Amino acid sequence: MTGVQTCALPILDRTGRKISIRQYYTWVIGAFAGSFILFNLLFGSSLLVSILMGIFLGLMVPHIIVGRWEAKRTKKFLLLLPDALELMVRGLKAGLPVSESINVIKNEIDEPVSSVFGEIAQSVRMGVNFEDALMKMALKLKVNEFNFFVISIALQRETGGNLAEILENLATTIRARAMMKLKIKAITSEARMSAYIVGALPFFVTGALLIMSPGYIDPLFNDIRGNIAGLGAITMFSSGMFIMFRMAKFEM
């Protein structure tokens, strides 16, 4: 996260990449222009349909790409977080204070965990309250497992107790959650594969028709009735795909 201070959208910050808001909007404009040219010049769609498809794809394509970057970074963060907590436990048992244990994590654990804890350590050095620095990072990351860590620290400071034991149990819990997610992914793999196949069929059939009989679907792009039917089909297709993927997704 260090060095991504130009981000104005939280999702850009969570990717861990140096993406400014200006770059993101440039991608949006580029995707809009490319989609408009594709539908208006190549497919011969009406101006209204080309503009609507340009807006839809211009907003969706950059958002999907950035979302995948965020998901990839979050997955790696969750993979390394238990190791970071166990390293912190060893530091606490050796007599190190919490702030020094966080510095050890920053130096010993790979990205993206090192940058997250490094930013916390930097905030504390600048005079920010330790709990406030943790809460700020939790709001930025929006990761449940990290929220558990922050809550554990806050509760231990208010009620007392063995922080090393608490964090050790937390690391075990996070690993168990990761295993459960993998089991859920395996169980829902059939439903997700069905969604991928059903989602690919319209594009496969359209591509086959364009190759084998180019004029067959011209009314879909050149006639206003075809444009309306196409927009309706895209709307129903998007809704159906969204519902299928939501049914195959379990929140923990």
The pair of structure tokens assigned to 155 is: 């509760």
pLDDT band at 252 (very low <50, low <70, confident <90, very high): low
Q: Residues 80-129: pLDDT tens digits?
A: 989 888 888 888 888 878 778 888 888 888 888 888 888 888 888 888 88
Tell me which residue of 85, 83, 249 sits closest to 181, measured CA to CA: 249
Using 50, 70 and 90 to split pLDDT, how confident is the model at 23? confident
Question: How confident is the model over 187-238, as pLDDT tens digits?
Answer: 777 777 887 888 888 888 887 887 888 778 777 777 778 778 878 888 888 8
Contacts for 135-143: CB closer than 8 Å, 24+ residues apart: 140/1, 140/10, 140/13, 140/14, 141/14, 141/74, 141/77, 141/116, 142/10, 142/14, 143/74, 143/77, 143/78
Q: What is the residue-averaged pLDDT of the chain?
A: 81
249: pLDDT confidence band, cut at 50, 70 and 90?
low
- The counts of H helices and E strands in the chain are 11, 0
Q: Is 4 helix (H, G, I), strand (E, B) or coil?
A: coil
Residue corresponding to tokens 């981000």: 7
Band of pLDDT at residue 4, cut at 50, 70 and 90: very low
Q: The tokens 């050890």 sit on which residue?
A: 104
Q: What is the pLDDT of residues 40-93, one digit of tens each?
A: 777 666 777 788 888 888 888 888 888 888 888 888 898 898 988 888 888 888
Cα–Cα distance between 239 and 235 in angstroms, integer?
6
Is residue 221 within 8 A of residue 39, CB to CB? The reply is yes
Q: How many percent of the chain have pLDDT more than 70?
A: 93
